[in-house]
Structure 1
Amino acid sequence: MPTAASAYAGSRTPPAAITSDLTLDEEPTVTTPPSATTPHPRNSGLRIDLNPAAAVARNAVHHGDTVVIRYAGGDLTYARLDDKAARLATVLVHSGVGDGDRVAYLGLNSSSFLVTMLAAFRLGAVFVPVNFRLAEPELEAVLAGSGAAVLVCEEGHRASVDKVRSRTALTRFLLVDDDPEAPTAGAAGWEPWSALITAAVPEPKVFAKYADDAAVLMFTSGTTGRPKGVVLTHGNIWWNSVNVELSLDTRRGDVTYVAAPLFHVGALNSFTLRTLVRGGTVVVRRRFDPQECLDDLLTHRVNSMFGIAQMFAALSRVPGVFEHDLSELRSIVVAGAPVPPSLIELYARHGVLLQQAWGLTETAPFATHLPAERTLDKIGSAGIPMPFTEVRVVDTAANEPVMSGEPGEIVVRGPNVTAGYWNNPEANQAAFDDEGWFHSGDIGYLDEEGYLYIVDRLKDMIISGGENVYPAEVERVLASMPGVVDIAVVGVPDEQWGETVVAVVSVDGSPSVTLEEVRAYGAAQLARYKLPQRLKVVPVVPRNASGKLDKAVTRRLAAEGV
């Protein structure tokens, strides 16, 4: 079974602490005599416990009656959350789980997700949140690839697991049976977790975890190939939180709302984890519903929220949404896909500032953020680098920085950037250069003030008649067209031009748009060679669970013709 250290095999700059066996109570080896000017290593700040489970345990002691999770299946106070996680930790210990082992969770957003994560953290184990939308071959690849020994699962996904379980390293299968939102009658080969948790004695110890220790193993969406396991360390999580707190208006005791999938780093590590650490409240919803979201924002006086553009577009269509007082919403981060300027302007007219950010799973998640005060004058920008993150735009061939305004690949370096891919030295070799820069695969440019603008994914660029067409640019323009609910632009093979531009759209039920109307609308802002040559209207534009356009599926739809 792979160890946490093996995740970094092949990395050019592996963190030294990954291979260290030093414990908190041991003296580190000193190669030079200490002096009055040499601080003791134990006091240097390099080995500070960053485990979120320790912070939750502290919160349980000092304000245990505070409700930390608002959830339809039952609310939890800090005391109850910590106790349940400690009892589950004991169950995991009896399953053979220890420091560095992997514990997987498969299910929708719920309090059980957070309980499982904290129980794993408590033992120093690595938490593996599994995308609940995976097909069975993808599910098998994630479960087997992670080397997880224990899986906690909801009823709705049990049957899929049963079909692949024999080809994984899983040895114990726990079924969530105490959540009214995920009812179950039990099943052979699965242990209902409620009785085990109730009977267990709470595990009193919380393992100290340091910056270079693996915390979460999160698999990328895999729409273009086999999912890769991204190792996020406790340091990655911590430094992203520091970046967020220095850049956004977040406060102790805030209420955050999460309806985007928690298995995605955007929902988990934008506000959710930090809210648990800081003593706030997380409103957890299993899935996003626009009317329910509005009700929650008002009822719970929500202060922060992460979402994708489509969520806020749907919320804006709730009748009377802007007639309500939404002034408590101080920090709204929109990421995962480009945000149409018209949507930002709509919310801004009603006093709600949507703050764009850019990043990836590998950057835990934010590398840049657009300050609220620049929302309108820098509309369309993904912002400036986070305080402790470096961002460059480089030439894809020479790997040298390009001039402002010139597009190139976005590269990132900083303590929030993943330590490497799980058991994938080839991917590490391809993603990190000799100076430690992570190559994102995204194309963008920096303006004269250093604000980043995302152009597209390098692999999604269309070359039509020798001209480069960036689908994201076309999508941003056409997304504002009346009647268009969602849009994806892709290239398909063409004998004359090499590739031709195809728009795949969903509409709002009004008379369907035509290709001529789409081209006429886009012609005011786009060169003619960028305009779609074909149009396909579909009920729903394919997106993955992270809210990103599923270009692989979209290309197949586009290739089927109009």
Structure 2
Amino acid sequence: MAAVDISPAAALHRRARYPSSTAVVYEGREVTAAELGRTVGEFAAGLSERGLRRGDRIAYLGFNSVTFLETLFAAAHLGAVFVPVNFRLAADEVRHILNDCGAHTLVVEEGHREVVESVLADVPARGHVLVDTDPACPAVPEGVWTALSGLRGPDRPVRQPVALYADDLAALMYTSGTTGRPKGVMLTHGNLWWNAVNVDSVVDTRSDDVNLAVAPLFHIGGLNALTLRTLVRGGTVVLRRGFDPAQCLEDLVRHRVTSLFAVPAMFAALARVPGFAEADLGALRAAVVAGAPVPPQLIRDYAEHGVLLQQAWGLTETAPFATYLPAGMTLEKTGSAGVPMPYTEIRLTHPGTGAGIDGPDVRGEICVRGPNVTAGYWDNPDATHAAFDDMGWFHTGDVAYRDKDGYYYIVDRLKDMIISGGENVYPAEVERVLAELPGVLEAAVIGVPDPKWGETVLAVLSCTEGTKPTVEEVREFAAGYLARYKLPTRVLLIDHLPRNASGKLAKAELRQWAEAKTP
């Protein structure tokens, strides 16, 4: 069977034949597919003139924008590798990523130029492009870097996109680095394409979808859960530079949004916007939530509003989804991450022995195999070898169990497990219970040293104004749901829980904060 060209640039090129089709609505401006396709082709030609070749890495640092998407498609147009960089990173972290990927070209928004300039002497990039084509970006000083507008224009000969196949490298997406230096996850065009096939097989997605993109595009969920597939299939992406709950609600209603990916904290913030209960969200049929444990009460709250949150689970390494809970099972299996995607395999293994787990309700490490799973980590064979076994299973480090009906429930990260008096305590299990406590907005659980038990459970809570639960009140509430050894022995109250750019709880930061608060 002959290889098939699955380049997203080729798909955009085909779509651009329909000039009136709106591809992106960005900060109040409509961009047609024809306009986007033409701009991408010109940009690719300009980058080619500056020496960007197939396999070279092109990094982007900035907020969500049309330019972000143009850079991704221009990279694919040439067969280059796209490297989106987390805009919240410090200079040393940016230096590490640009060096690790060996970036050939940098595309940067003005608001992030100074961070990049502080490390330029230490990175190999030869091309430095500053975004001057976006009115939503800060003003660009004259004579600084190469202006993006200078790389585009109708005078450049625009070639057809190069053919790209399943094994061709599409992007390097760097992990959040919660356990050390970020690793570059190698995602092929096959990984991205098969995730779209999985999504379109089980989620109620359509070619004319209106997708609201408010999660960071440098994160695999924001980019590849729904946004990229919407663009290449013919839908419209309503794109915001960042997430503002009130603006999000307005966009959902005004644009009759049909699909949305967000992390639980974003859905929770959206539900607290005045007017949410009265808002018409009848068009929203694919509301996918992932990236962190989902409180059951959040699912129930949205169901009362007529929106069935569809929980999914995965990682950057799975591009992103490995499991999905169909909308029709949202209330029956509340809290479940669903069943394996159609073209993805899942198995549970004993963390100590690696032996497979076949029975229900037994906790083990969740492992994934399939065409949407990364080929490994960029220039890091040791990390790649450690993550994959001899049968090609990717070991995720997440703990899960499967119920008698075959639905998976994610328990926690192996590394976050608390061992108290010889008993295993999974923080996410305790967090789900504490999130049900009246007045609690968010809950995080970490292990802290204890002279008697080795470790004990500390609950860090963010609450509504005037709510200040004591440790006794927390324990009394949780005792109805949890074994005694899982109950918090200390409670600390905080205004907002720290999260990384992917929306995940920053447990390391919480531990440091808790140590500082310990008498």
Same-fold call, TM cutoff 0.5:
yes
- Residue in structure 1 matched with residue 388 of structure 2 by the alignment: 432
Shift of 1:200: 5.2
- Residue in structure 1 matched with residue 87 of structure 2 by the alignment: 132
2:449 counterpart of 1:449: no
- DSSP 3-state at the match of 1:86: helix
- Residue in structure 1 matched with residue 71 of structure 2 by the alignment: 116
Tell me how far apart the structure 2 counterparts of residues 186 and 505 of structure 1 sit (CA, whole Å): 44
Cα displacement string for residues 500-535 of structure 1 (whole angstroms, at most 9, x for unaligned residues): 111122222223332222222212111121111112
Q: 103, 109, 120: which one pairs with 1:165?
A: 120
Q: 412, 415, 418: which one pairs with 1:462?
A: 418
Q: 221, 236, 250: which one pairs with 1:281?
A: 236
1:199–1:168 CA distance, 2 compared to 1 (3 A): farther
- Residue in structure 1 matched with residue 61 of structure 2 by the alignment: 106
- Residue in structure 1 matched with residue 221 of structure 2 by the alignment: 266
- Counterpart contact for 1:73–1:181, Cα < 8 Å: no
Tell me how far apart the structure 2 counterparts of residues 185 and 262 of structure 1 sit (CA, whole Å): 23
- Counterpart contact for 1:83–1:202, Cα < 8 Å: no
Cα displacement string for residues 152-209 of structure 1 (whole angstroms, at most 9, x for unaligned residues): 1111111110111111111111111121211223265512212331365152220100
Shift of 1:136: 1.3
Tell me how far apart the structure 2 counterparts of residues 67 and 212 of structure 1 sit (CA, whole Å): 31
Tell me how far apart the structure 2 counterparts of residues 478 and 329 of structure 1 sit (CA, whole Å): 29
Cα displacement string for residues 298-328 of structure 1 (whole angstroms, at most 9, x for unaligned residues): 1111010100111111111112212222111
Cα displacement string for residues 327-360 of structure 1 (whole angstroms, at most 9, x for unaligned residues): 1111111000011001101111221100000000
2:274 counterpart of 1:314: no
- Residue in structure 2 matched with residue 366 of structure 1 by the alignment: 321
Q: 167, 170, 174: which one pairs with 1:215?
A: 170
Gaps of 5+ in 2: none
Aligned residues: CA RMSD: 1.2
Tell me how far apart the structure 2 counterparts of residues 354 and 115 of structure 1 sit (CA, whole Å): 30
- Residue in structure 2 matched with residue 7 of structure 1 by the alignment: none
Cα displacement string for residues 477-518 of structure 1 (whole angstroms, at most 9, x for unaligned residues): 111222222221111222221111111222222233322222
- DSSP 3-state at the match of 1:560: helix
Match runs of 1:104-503 below 5 Å: 104-186=59-141, 189-198=144-153, 201-402=156-357, 403-503=359-459
- Give the share of equivalent positions with the same residue, in percent: 58
Tell me how far apart the structure 2 counterparts of residues 476 and 188 of structure 1 sit (CA, whole Å): 53
Tell me how far apart the structure 1 counterparts of residues 181 and 103 of structure 2 sit (CA, whole Å): 18
Match runs of 1:53-132 below 5 Å: 53-61=9-17, 63-72=18-27, 74-132=29-87
- DSSP 3-state at the match of 2:16: helix
Tell me how far apart the structure 1 counterparts of residues 294 and 477 of structure 2 sit (CA, whole Å): 18
Aligned length: 517
Tell me how far apart the structure 1 counterparts of residues 158 and 28 of structure 2 sit (CA, whole Å): 25
Tell me how far apart the structure 2 counterparts of residues 364 and 216 of structure 1 sit (CA, whole Å): 11
Cα displacement string for residues 245-271 of structure 1 (whole angstroms, at most 9, x for unaligned residues): 011000011100110000000110111
User: 1 or 2 for the larger relative contact order (CA 8 Å, sep ≥6)?
Assistant: 1
Gaps of 5+ in 1: 1-43
Tell me how far apart the structure 2 counterparts of residues 314 and 331 of structure 1 sit (CA, whole Å): 18
- Residue in structure 2 matched with residue 549 of structure 1 by the alignment: 505
Tell me how far apart the structure 1 counterparts of residues 239 and 105 of structure 2 sit (CA, whole Å): 24
- DSSP 3-state at the match of 2:152: helix
- DSSP 3-state at the match of 1:70: strand
Matched residue type, 1:55: A
- Counterpart contact for 2:47–2:151, Cα < 8 Å: no
1:187–1:133 CA distance, 2 compared to 1 (3 A): farther
Structure 1 length-normalised TM: 0.90
- Counterpart contact for 2:360–2:404, Cα < 8 Å: yes
Matched residue type, 1:111: V
